[in-house]
Amino acid sequence: MADEDGNTKRKGGAKGARGKASPEGWVENQIRQLYKDVADEPLPKDLLDLLDNIDFGDSPDESPDGGKR
């Protein structure tokens, strides 16, 4: 069975390098299923603006507290 991205899933967890199910793969799959709905939600514009400010490396003079943290 394939998911939306074309990845195949097997019952019992992800297969490791040697073809055996690995506990890490099973945990990873469970976490993905748990948070899939949350991760698919769009980010709010305010958060995107904040991330843009961090990415552009605003100078300390532009921040209200003078660049002190």
pLDDT single digits (tens) 17-47: 556 678 899 999 999 999 999 889 999 999 9
Report yes or no: 16 and 28 within 8 Å, Cβ to Cβ: no
- Reported pTM: 0.34
Nearest to 36 by CA among 69, 66, 4: 4
Over 60: is that where the pLDDT of 8 sits? no
